Amino acid sequence: MNLFFETFLAGLLQSGIYALVASGLALSVGVIHIVNFAHGEFLMVGAFLSWGLFTWLGMDPLLSAVVAAIAMFAGGALTYRTTIKHVLLAPELNQMLLTFGISIILQNLALLIFGGNTRLVNTPYQGEAVAVLGLSVGLTKLMAFGLALVLLIGLYLMLYRSGLGRSMRAVAQNRLGAQIIGLDVHRIYLIAFGIASALAGVAGVLVSVLLFASPTVGLVYTLKAFAIIVMAGLGNMTGVLWASLLLALSEAYVQTYVPNGGRLSEAVFFLLIFGTLVFRAYRGAK
């Protein structure tokens, strides 16, 4: 029975990173109405930033997360100002091609600078564990989950308890109406894209500690974030949380209880997407 609860705890802790990545992507889709295929590459940049700060300056990942958040907010704002802003009224295909092109550029820049090898941030407390409800949990996983939880609560409070959040929701619901009442739509879009990029950057810092940094690590998280958004529904920020938990728990139980589950777990998000689409089609047909 311990194995069942240990698996549940592992999935719960993993869901924090998934929710962090997917919330940023949901913010882009829900507020700006643009599908950002480069979201995972912003995570990858955050991972390499964390690795660089740890390797060259000895900076702890917790401090790197602050640096990554600021740097990626600025990078996201710059990306919006120089590229995204100019395709907002373009066909969706053009928007997708633009963000896909940005992802390819970032991946290849990382390959040129760092090569194809994986890099790991190996902190002094990497192998330490603590007891939670009688179960042993890695300290870094627990810290990563705690940081993700704090950021998600902050994002929720910003969206539903602040003037900026109300403006974002107004722009998301009706861009023209928001302009008529005097809201600076492009300023709100820029801030939303910056926050989404900052969340991806912090998630990248966590990935560099728990997994590794590599030029292609972002693609996996982009696909999983899309799976979570499909399950939650476009722009549904609260639904992202339970969808992230569902994906993480499904992967954890497949890895533990299914033979060769380590490989099969990578296909879990495809099955969840398929199941969600079939279920919605069935409900729509009734």
List, for residues 251-266, the tens digit of each pLDDT value.
999 999 888 777 777 7
Q: Give the total residue count for the chain.
A: 286
Q: Does the predicted model carry a pTM greater than 0.85?
A: yes
For residues 99 and 29, give the distance between their C-alpha atoms in angstroms, rounded to a whole number.
12
Q: Which residue matches tokens 């339970």?
A: 242
* Per-residue model confidence (pLDDT) at position 193: 96
pLDDT score of 1: 67
Would strands 135-138 and 129-132 be described as parallel, antiparallel, or unpaired? antiparallel
pLDDT for residue 238: 81
Under 8 Å between Cβ of 139 and 147? no
- pLDDT score recorded for residue 267: 81
Count Cβ neighbours within 10 Å for each residue of 159-187 and write b for 16 or more, e otherwise: beeeeeeebbbbbbeebeebeeeebebee
For 37, 152, 281, the CA distances from 18, given in Å and listed in that order, are 16, 11, 26
Tell me the pLDDT of the chain averaged across its residues.
91
The pLDDT, as a whole number, for residue 285 is: 61
pLDDT number for residue 130? 86
Q: Are 158 and 27 in contact (CB under 8 A)?
A: no
The 3-state DSSP class for residue 137 equals strand
Among candidate residues 94, 33, 61, the one with its CA nearest the CA of residue 204: 61
Q: How far apart are CA 106 and CA 96, in angstroms?
A: 15
CA distance 79 to 41: 13
Q: Per residue in 191-242, pLDDT tens? A: 999 999 999 999 999 999 999 999 999 999 999 999 899 888 776 778 899 9
Neighbour tally for 261: CB within 10 Å: 15
Question: What does the block give as tokens for 89?
Answer: 């009224």
Strands (E), the chain: 129-132, 135-138
| Region at 133 (left for phi over 0; alpha for psi -120 to 50; beta for the rest) | left
Could you tell me the CA-to-CA distances from 65 to 36, 202, 244 in Å, in that order? 22, 5, 21
pLDDT < 50 positions in the chain: none
For residues 96 and 48, what is the distance between their CA atoms, to the nearest angstrom?
25
